[in-house]
Amino acid sequence: MKIIDLNSDIGESFGAFKVGNDVEVLKYISSANIACGYHAGDHNVMFETVKLAQKNGVKIGAHPGFPDLAGFGRREMNLSTREIYNLIIYQMGALQAVCKANGASLSHVKPHGALYNMAGQRREIADAIAEAIVALDSKLVLFGLAGSELIKAGRQKGLQVAEEVFTDRTYQPDGTLTSRRENNAFIHNSCEAIQRVARMITEGKVKAVDGTDLDIQADTICVHGDGPKAVEFVSELRKALAQENIFLRKSWSEQ
């Protein structure tokens, strides 16, 4: 038997604008990455999403991003490492306060969008994020792209890390995700996506866009919850994993 974490980026609605189907997605995942108000989400959505995660027994994580609501945090910003450290502290602290008010606690941190991608390749940004997490709570788990600079920085700072893989994204030969701007960035066939994930878990391998096999560590799987078939897909994924004798991780203390 193997255990795996299954995460999704949720709480990304804002005011009257609704994004994703958090209520249903939360029934199938084990970790929720909750937007903290900069790229998406707001104080009301954060409170509601924390309560939903508690109701479903799902681990709660902060999902901080660049202050870019219009671009959904997917546009790169030229900020200093001090500014990045500060914005991580600010957003984590906001969600930590919401958790405390609801008798919950933070479990992990996963940067969002452009910040996530930049931290995966630029060590100075990765270090700023890891340092912010250590300053707030060194027991938090840091989620980052498998094999990335963010994972390396987290380990160097003494954090527990979770190497993340993606169900619906393709990989470049260097292990990075294919840019969303490219036509082949996404895998639209759910059967193919599920087969790829199962192989990443059981064999530690994934095929890059050029056909080469990459070694990959899969500690947590990201399932995007805002697609039109997100709930259907995550339900199918859970069934497929169970058939492979792969079950969800309840806590990060499990081996």
Does 50 have pLDDT greater than 90?
Answer: yes
Structure tokens at 183: 């036509």
Is the CA virtual torsion 28, 30, 32, 33 positive or negative?
A: negative
Report the b/e string of 79-100 with b at 16+ CB within 10 A: beeeebbebbbebbbbbbebbe
What is the C-alpha to C-alpha distance for residues 138 and 158, in angstroms, rounded to an integer? 8
- In this prediction the pTM is 0.95
How far are the Cα atoms of 30, 201, 248 from residue 195, in angstroms, in the given order?
A: 20, 10, 17
Share the mean pLDDT of the chain: 94
Q: Which of 3.20.20.370, 3.40.1180.10, 3.40.50.1860, 3.20.20.70 would CATH assign to domain 2-248? A: 3.20.20.370
Domain layout of the chain by residue ranges: 2-248
Q: What's the confidence (pLDDT) of residue 224? A: 81
Largest CA distance in the chain: 49
Residue 179 vs residue 83, higher pLDDT:
83
Does 73 have pLDDT greater than 90?
Answer: yes
Phi/psi for 139 (5° steps) reads -85, -10
The helix (H) or strand (E) run that includes residue 11 is: none
Is the CA virtual torsion 178, 143, 213, 235 positive or negative?
A: negative
89-148: pLDDT as tens digits: 999 999 999 999 999 999 999 999 999 999 999 999 999 999 999 999 999 999 999 999
For residues 224-234, average pLDDT: 79
What is the C-alpha to C-alpha distance for residues 218 and 220, in angstroms, rounded to an integer? 6
